[in-house]
Amino acid sequence: MKRLFYKFILLFLVVVTITACGYKPSAKFARASMGEKISTSVVISAVDPENTVIIKDAVDRAIIEVFQASLVAKSESDTHLILKMGNPSYSPIVYDENGFVIGYRMSVSLNITSVHNGESKNYSARGNHDFSVAPNAIVTDQERFEAIGFSTQRAIKSFIAQVSAEGARTNK
């Protein structure tokens, strides 16, 4: 019985602390600047067209999970996002005692244009992902695609942070 009472008091204190300090999740600020309905399009890279699908999936997932907004057609949207990925690059970052590369860093840069209420804003976001390989091994397509996916997710989180900060500044 005492234990239940302490849990109730702790829960009460947490709720009071969060609500009393004026906490608002960043998704609320992002939604304020982006709207409830968002559409996306990705410019297909002639050099690396396979990665377009990875980017589109990561962006759509972020819109649903982080912005907590609806994906809609461009004609119904409050905001339309146009994404263009620069050439992904990976560079060696870790070597073993024999000089073989055993770790790489994948870097992805995204240029995102947000069209909201007829106004266009450009954002630049960058994401990195470190991964390891066996000594003297070639990076497989599967490892490369996974690294690009993780890097893209980090770049999108960077974009979301920029939009959330912008929304927080305008909603003070």
Q: Which domains does the chain have, with CATH numbers?
A: 27-170 (3.30.160.150)
Identify the sign of the CA torsion 139, 142, 148, 150.
negative
| Whether residue 21 has pLDDT greater than 80 | no
- Residue range 124-128: mean pLDDT, rounded: 94
User: Rounded to the nearest 10 degrees, how much is the dihedral formed by the CA atoms of 145, 148, 153, 154?
Assistant: 150
Q: What is the pLDDT of residue 25?
A: 66
| pTM assigned to the model | 0.76
- Residues 6 or more apart whose Cβ sits within 8 Å of residue 147: 90, 104, 106, 129, 131
Pairing of strands 70-71, 79-85: unpaired
| Whether residue 1 has pLDDT greater than 80 | no
| Whether residue 138 has pLDDT greater than 90 | no
Q: What is the pLDDT of residue 123?
A: 94
Identify the sign of the CA torsion 72, 74, 78, 81.
positive
pLDDT digits (tens, 9 = 90+) for 70-114: 889 888 988 899 999 888 888 999 998 988 889 999 999 999 999
| Whether residue 172 has pLDDT greater than 60 | no
Q: What is the pLDDT of residue 112?
A: 93
pLDDT digits (tens, 9 = 90+) for 22-73: 666 666 766 777 778 888 888 887 777 777 777 788 788 877 877 777 889 8
Q: What is the pLDDT of residue 56?
A: 81
Q: What is the pLDDT of residue 60?
A: 84
Query: Which DSSP helix (H) or strand (E) runs through 109?
Result: strand 101-116
